């Protein structure tokens, strides 16, 4: 197949992309328009929790599409209730609102916290978020994010998101005033370069929130649904947040996200929240299939085994090449480079012949790994061996 320039020109230019068109995928492998195969460690940006086109997801979407696609969010549908029951059963939350993207789920979390502040905290509305955090690309979630420069791109910002430093409790405490309603964070900062909040920090935040009558909101859009080796990353530190958002992996690749809240915090009145596609049976049926695969006996054990294998292999590579180690939780990991050749490594891995490999460098001195949660032991071995070859080539 030829690369179609006119097709490229018809798309709004929002980022630089390689001149490749991906035409099919299976498991951890993607194939481009020339028939070249790639070991995919990006997986649609950590969304394909079960890899490309897993049979159970294909079946769920196909069956549901033939049955009922969208009766309207004003009516109940079976898959949305099935998925909500599964999520409340597996977590500390009692109520679920389904959304279409992580940013939209986070908007919902912000609205819910502000509504709770109006009802219970005298109109308090400020939500303390963190430097370098990422919560999405709507105006409010960009304002909540701590990405450098984002305070200026579409100024003025949505007000009310003072920024603290991750793993620095005093920096959070110092921002609390009588207008503060919540603290919101990613248990592992993903886009910032896979920086985990420590277990102690998560526990201390819970206590700080309790002591000051604040809500604790975890943005688990990237860390939720098995990514860290637990179903939800907050479970790593044994705390009970008040609100959680899910996205990415929950749909296994299709647009699905969720706002999860404890009963006491579920204070939306009729009309406060909604959306045309929200909770539609086509996407929530996909979510049920993904959830059941992740909850099957042994699935998370395998995630943890692959995570240990990947961590050990990355540490070995770091030692061999004089890099700065690795970090992460579960199958969300990063290799810290000793120089800014991350983008060169990503390009060389993709262009490798005859088979390529897709990696991500969220920062020039760091590689991020977010494989399918069901990546095999052999595929992790291949990833590590190929990465070693690529680094040798780039650094020769």
Q: Using CB atoms within 10 Å of the CB of residue 167, give its burial: 0 to 12 exposed, 13 to 18 middle, 19+ buried.
A: middle
Q: Is 245 annotated as a binding residue?
A: no
Neighbours of 39 (CB within 10 A): 22
CB 333 within 8 A of CB 326: yes
Based on CB atoms, which residue is closest to ligand PLP, 33 or 147?
147
Based on CB atoms, which residue is closest to ligand PLP, 32 or 223?
223
Q: Is 102 annotated as a binding residue?
A: yes
CB 348 within 8 A of CB 390: yes
d(CA 93, CA 112): 14
Q: Is 21 annotated as a binding residue?
A: no
Q: In angstroms, give the least distance from the CB of 145 to ligand PLP.
A: 8
Q: Is 299 annotated as a binding residue?
A: no
Q: Is 134 annotated as a binding residue?
A: yes
156 upstream amide cis, omega within 30 of 0: yes
d(CA 130, CA 172): 9
Q: In angstroms, give the least distance from the CB of 221 to ligand PLP.
A: 4
Strands (E), 251-395: 257-261, 326-329, 332-336, 356-358, 360-363, 366-369
Based on CB atoms, which residue is closest to ligand PLP, 221 or 335?
221
Based on CB atoms, which residue is closest to ligand PLP, 99 or 337?
99
Q: Is 129 annotated as a binding residue?
A: no
Based on CB atoms, which residue is closest to ligand PLP, 147 or 173?
147
Q: In angstroms, give the least distance from the CB of 37 to ligand PLP.
A: 26
Q: In angstroms, give the least distance from the CB of 235 to ligand PLP.
A: 17
Which helix (H) or strand (E) segment is 180 a member of? Answer: strand 180-185
Q: In angstroms, give the least distance from the CB of 4 to ligand PLP.
A: 26
Based on CB atoms, which residue is closest to ligand PLP, 91 or 106?
106
CB-based closest residue to ligand PLP: 102
What is the C-alpha end-to-end distance of the chain, expressed in Å?
34
Q: Is 276 annotated as a binding residue?
A: yes
CB 233 within 8 A of CB 223: yes
Per CB under 6 A, residues contacting ligand PLP are: 101-103, 106, 134-136, 186, 190-191, 219, 221-222, 247-248
Residue positions forming the annotated binding site for pyridoxal 5'-phosphate: 102-103, 134, 219-222, 276
Output the known binding site: 102-103, 134, 137, 219-222, 276
């Amino acid at each position: 197949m030829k690369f179609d320039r006119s097709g490229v020109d018809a798309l709004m230019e929002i980022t630089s992309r390689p001149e490749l068109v991906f035409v099919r995928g299976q498991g951890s492998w993607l194939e481009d328009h020339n028939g070249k195969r790639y070991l995919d460690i990006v997986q649609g940006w950590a969304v394909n929790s079960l890899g490309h086109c897993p049979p159970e997801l294909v079946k769920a979407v196909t069956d549901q599409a033939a049955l009922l696609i969208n009766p309207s969010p004003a009516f109940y549908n079976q898959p949305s209730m099935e998925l909500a029951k599964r999520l409340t059963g597996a977590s500390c939350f009692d109520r679920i609102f389904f959304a279409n993207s992580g940013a939209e789920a986070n908007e919902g979390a912000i609205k819910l916290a502000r509504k709770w502040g109006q009802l219970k905290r005298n109109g308090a509305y400020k939500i303390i978020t963190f430097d370098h955090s990422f919560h999405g690309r709507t105006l409010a979630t960009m304002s909540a994010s701590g990405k450098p420069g984002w305070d200026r791109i579409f100024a003025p910002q949505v007000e009310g998101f003072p920024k603290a430093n991750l793993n620095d409790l005093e920096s959070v405490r110092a921002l609390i005033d009588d207008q503060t309603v919540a603290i919101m964070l990613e248990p592992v900062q993903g886009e910032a370069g896979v920086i985990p909040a420590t277990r102690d920090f998560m526990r201390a935040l819970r206590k700080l929130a309790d002591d000051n009558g604040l809500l604790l909101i975890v943005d688990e859009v990237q860390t939720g649904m098995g990514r860290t080796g637990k179903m939800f990353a907050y479970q790593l530190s044994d705390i009970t947040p008040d609100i959680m958002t899910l996205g990415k992996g929950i749909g296994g690749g299709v647009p699905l996200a969720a706002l999860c809240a404890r009963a006491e915090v579920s204070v939306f009145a009729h009309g406060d929240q909604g959306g045309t596609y929200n909770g539609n049976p086509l996407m929530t049926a996909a979510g049920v299939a993904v959830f059941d695969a992740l909850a099957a006996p042994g699935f998370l054990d395998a995630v943890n085994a692959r995570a240990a294998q990947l961590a050990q292999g990355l540490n070995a590579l770091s030692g061999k090449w004089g890099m700065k180690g690795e970090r992460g939780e579960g199958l969300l990991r990063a290799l810290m480079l000793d120089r800014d050749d991350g983008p060169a490594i990503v390009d060389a891995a993709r262009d490798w012949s005859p088979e390529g490999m897709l990696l991500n460098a969220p920062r020039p001195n760091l590689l991020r790994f977010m494989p399918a949660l069901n990546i095999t032991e052999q595929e992790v071995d291949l990833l590590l061996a190929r990465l070693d070859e690529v680094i040798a080539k780039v650094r020769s």
